[in-house]
Amino acid sequence: MTANRTITVYGASGHTGQFVVAELRRRGWVPVLSGRDPDKLRAAAEGGQGELEIRPAAVDSSTAIDHALDGSAAVINCAGPFRWTAAPVIEAALRAGIPYLDVAAEIEAVADTFAHYDERARDAGIVVVPAMAFYGGLGDLLATAATPGWTSADEVTIAYGLSSWRPTQGTLASGKVSRQRREGCRIAYRNGRLELRIDNAPIDESRFPAPLGTQKVQAEFTMADCVTIPRHLATPAMRSYMTITAANDVSDPDPSPPVAVDESGRSSQTFLVDVVVRSGTTERRAVAGGRDIYAFSAPLVVEATERVLGGLVERTGALTAGQAFDARDFLRSLPLDHVSLGGFNRSAQGARRTSLMVSCSRVPCGGGC
């Protein structure tokens, strides 16, 4: 573990950024608050306990971003839309020679990071991990944990069982940018690649594990997991579903923001993520449940940062969560209410369970299973 305990959080005054700052402080790190709005940064710094340094930095000022990262062991980017912030902050991380991680959910921005920075990060000897968040990170860890040693699959299914989805202003801004990039089209993963579609997304039903059971869902609800998982698990088919209540919430023309219901700032939103990977007649399933997708992204990205700085990542370059980390061990470290992994063989007689690899059910905490 590095002796340097300073980590720059770019976008520290945003909804997720404030959770990340709190998680860093809880673990004994010293966050430097950076971002585009000095007034919001000052307010965020004053809202915390103790002195916090702020370093405002516009994304179009390389000098300011370099200053924001000066002396830090790593940078965590929480500032969307990531189409505008990812590249400038990664460039600064390359100049500083420090790891970069972000919580991007924008499909195009995540794909851009892998396309433009994998080779450059390897050449610089640093680790870049985009989408280290609920979308892009958790699903990838679940798929990887369920399929150790697999490099390909016939089909990957990921179903998001959200009780609701009250989006932040950052989510809305990022979604608007993505829609503009697609010229209003939606995006789906078909035939081994992402493609633009002009038709409406199908409405279907999905059978979730208990306690959700069968739920009405929007099919082809494509998120960053459809970028991260195929980076190391080649598949011609990725099927993604979102509970219809949450899909309607986030697409509402006048959506409600998240509402805190406890001292930590978490909302009452709950989630269940169900990942099934099939190869021939063999299926592997991984399920995780917890609370508040924004708050949950904080321990995800901070745990990842600690593991990078602790020398637990054996390669450099632009990596997904599944590529960078021991997925099963990582999942045990997260504050999940429930996580389980299991395997099935399918035949004409139906499904037969062949193994139960890990099972954990508990109240939210920071410990392992």
pLDDT tens digit string along 213-248? Answer: 999 999 999 999 999 999 999 999 999 999 999 999
- Residue 200, pLDDT > 90, answer yes
Cα end-to-end span (Å), the chain = 23
Strands 238-243 and 155-162, bridge-based pairing: parallel
Provide the pLDDT for residue 2.
81
Walk me through the domains of the chain, giving residue ranges and CATH numbers. Answer: 6-133+297-324 (3.40.50.720), 135-295+334-361 (3.30.360)
More confident residue, 338 or 282: 282
pLDDT, one tens digit per residue, over 93-150 is 999 999 999 999 999 999 999 999 999 999 999 999 999 999 999 999 999 999 999 9
Location of structure tokens 């209003």: 184
Bond into 81 cis (ω within 30)? yes
SS3 267: coil
- Tell me how far apart the alpha carbons of residues 190 and 219 are, in angstroms, rounded to a whole number: 13
CA angle 324, 111, 205 (to 5 degrees): 90
Interval 180-209 mean pLDDT: 96
Provide the pLDDT for residue 337.
92
- Alpha helical stretches, state H, 48-188: 62-69, 82-96, 107-124, 139-146, 169-181
- How much of the chain, in percent, has pLDDT values that exceed 90? 89
pLDDT, one tens digit per residue, over 13-47 is 999 999 999 999 999 999 999 999 999 999 999 87
Burial 338-359, CB ≥16 within 10 A → b, else e = bbbbbbbeeeeeeeeeeeeeee
